[in-house]
């Protein structure tokens, strides 16, 4: 976890503040920032926003192992249950849901048309047809200019 935080400027500041407090305390803002940084790095390594539950559990346990002051000490509960709870979610699931909703709100990327149309005996996409039309127009106008230039001499 600390290696992931050291790669990030805000993460380095959090680690510095944590060391200044003699590893005794992390405020809520820093906790949220730790979750943001670590989840972002892990999403890149997982390749998606839907990791297996075991991966999320290891992530939650890893955060609490690196920052023991964030652990919950209650009998019968995992000390990282607020970071990940399979029934009710937790900070990690909340961050993944937040990232997922941000992705859904982005404008959809226009995909290239895969539908092919016959033109001059061959199948082409709509984009190919537009390109062919513009090339055809260019050739036509070049021919007109060439013919005009040679006819006026």
- Specify which residues 123 forms β-bridges with: 118
By the 8 A CB rule, do 95 and 43 touch? Answer: no
The dihedral formed by the CA atoms of 81, 83, 87 and 93, expressed in degrees to the nearest 10: -170
Place of tokens 């590893």: 23
pLDDT given for residue 85 in this prediction: 82
Record the tokens describing residue 21, joined without a space: 């407090």
**Residues of the chain above pLDDT 90, percent:** 20
pLDDT given for residue 15 in this prediction: 92
By the 8 A CB rule, do 70 and 64 touch? Answer: yes
How many angstroms separate the CA atoms of 117 and 129, rounded?
9
**17 Cβ contact list (under 8 Å, min separation 6):** 26, 30
Record the tokens describing residue 33, joined without a space: 């920032």
Q: Which residues of the chain have pLDDT under 70?
A: 104-138, 141, 148, 150-153
């Amino acid at each position: 976890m600390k290696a992931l935080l050291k790669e990030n400027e805000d993460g380095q500041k959090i680690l510095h503040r944590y060391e200044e407090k003699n590893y005794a305390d992390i405020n809520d803002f820093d906790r949220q920032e730790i979750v943001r940084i670590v989840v972002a790095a892990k999403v890149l390594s997982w390749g998606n926003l839907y990791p297996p539950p075991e991966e999320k559990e290891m992530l939650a346990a890893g955060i609490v192992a690196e920052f023991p002051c964030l652990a919950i000490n209650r009998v019968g509960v995992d000390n990282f249950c607020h970071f990940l709870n399979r029934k009710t979610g937790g900070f990690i699931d909340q961050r993944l849901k937040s990232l997922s909703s941000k992705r859904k709100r982005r404008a959809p990327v226009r995909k290239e048309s895969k539908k092919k149309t016959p033109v001059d005996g061959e199948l082409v996409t709509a984009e190919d047809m537009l390109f062919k039309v513009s090339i055809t127009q260019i050739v036509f106008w070049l021919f007109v200019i060439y013919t005009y230039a040679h006819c006026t001499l």
